[in-house]
Every structure is written in structure tokens, then in C-alpha cells.
Amino acid sequence: MTPTVPFAEVIGDPINHSLSPLIHGYWLEVLAIEGSYVRRRVTRADLPGYLSERRGNAAWRGSNVTMPLKLDAVALADEATDRAVAAGAANVLMMREGRLVAANTDVGAIVSLLGRLHKGGAPMRGVTLLGTGGAARAALVALKTVGIPAVRIQARNMAEAAKLAVEFGLEANPAPFTAPIGGDGLINATPLGMSDYPRIGCDLSPLPANGWVFDMVTQPAETALVADARGRGLAVVTGIDMLVEQAAASFKLFFEADAPRDRDAELWQKLGR
């Protein structure tokens, strides 16, 4: 039976680890909005059929998109927002006036969180970015937006890293994933460090004493990378920080209401923070 109550969801593979249903569900409850938000496993092979079904479902308000679907989401949409085009990746799909639109709320979330770091005194002269996927693409757009001049990609797939460096006009040549990091900050845009994934064997000692680490991994909330950074006295942004920021923008798109950010303290407790 086709649902009649408005709903949104998060899709990807794997998906059981996602905290998005908890976040959106909490906001729906606080605001007494009729609707739901669930998770659904969708593989790359499944995505075209999934979107074909969702296009005809009037109750569907949209989907957040996680790995490995962010690049495919842009390709399969009828149109894309400026930030989704700039990133070449989307973390939101939704219907607007009969057309499937791809959007990217990751970019705005990263811009906001980098702004908080900078306001707190963190230097922003250069950054090492780990990864080449959809999250890394969003980070590259955000780094360009805030005007960080020196960005170096470190990746296992050097061909893809070189392609991204050219696409985003980076001056620094990519380096192998295991190369020593440089700059003032490190952004981990890979799934490494996530539950059931290998840890990042990354030496943070080259970062300055007032440097920073931005780890996009959400499970566990306190990754080994984050714990190492805290132990060194570095400023930290966690994957949960980013998840909530992008979720607030997504919630507005899906349910046409502002997320109740005045209740963040309660939300953090639910998220185990």
C-alpha cells in the first residue's frame, strides 16, 4: 500500500548505522508535524528503480543520500542546485513541480562548521583532505567558498585524486593516502574509522598546536581520529556536528519547517553526546 502520511528517508549502502531517522524523528515530534523519516538500503543498481517509484509517490517528501549514491544522484536527477552542480554530488533528492531535483546541504554544513572553527581562532591557511568521493567533493566546494587557499588531496586512488585536483583548480599535487599530512587542518572525507571499517593510521603531529581536525565519520561519534586530536589539544569537528547541520537544512526542504535548533541540548543527549 502506498503511504499517505508525508515521509522522507535516508538511502545508501550500508545504511543501518545512520542516525538521520533519530534526528528528523525528534524534530518532527517536537514540532508536532505529521510525518515520518526512515532509513532504506538502496544500492547503486537499485537507485534508478527506487527513484522511478518515488517519483509517483505523492507522500514522498525526499531522501537524504549517503554513500555510495551521491554522484549517481546528480546524474539521475532532472535538475540540480548550484551547489550540487559545483560538487558533482548530491546528498538530497526531492520532487519540485514534477521534476526530480538534486541538492547538496553538505556544502552549507561544512561552510558553517569551518566558520565556527575560524571564529574560535583556528588557522585556515592550508588543509589536507582525505578522500575523493561525494563527501570530499562537498568539502572542496566549501573550502573554495570560505577562501582557504591551499588544499591538498590525499587518497588511495591517485587517478581520481588527480582528476579532482584539476576539476577544482587545486595548486597542490595530490599525494598518496599514507603521505605525511600538512597544513593547518585535516578533513577526513572517507569512511575509514567508521564502525566495521579500518582505522585511519594518520600521524597528526605535523599539525600546528592550534590546528584542527574535521572527521566526517558519524559512527562511532568519538572516532580514534577525533580522540587523538582531542588528546593533542586540537580543535575538533565531528561527523555528528556535520550530520546535524546538514540535517537541519534537509528538514526545511522536506517538511517546510525550521528545525528546532533551540532544542539541540536534548538532541545531543539522544545522540549520545
270 is catalytic: no
Residue 195 has a pLDDT of 83
Residue 3 has a pLDDT of 58
Q: Model-level pTM?
A: 0.95
Percentage with pLDDT > 70 across the chain: 99
pLDDT digits (tens, 9 = 90+) for 164-215: 999 999 999 999 999 999 999 999 999 998 888 888 889 999 999 999 999 9
- Strand order across the 36-41 sheet: 36-41, 7-12, 60-65, 92-96, 99-103, 79-80
pLDDT digits (tens, 9 = 90+) for 214-252: 999 998 989 999 999 999 999 999 999 999 999 999 999
| Mean pLDDT for the chain overall | 95
pLDDT digits (tens, 9 = 90+) for 20-32: 999 999 999 999 9
> Identical fold at 7-103+244-270 and 107-237?
yes
CATH classification of 107-237, choosing from 3.40.50.150, 3.40.50.720, 3.40.605.10, 3.40.50.1820? 3.40.50.720
CATH of domain 7-103+244-270: 3.40.50.10860
Active-site entry in 70, 119, 144, 270: 70
Residue 199 has a pLDDT of 87
Domain boundaries, the chain: 7-103+244-270, 107-237
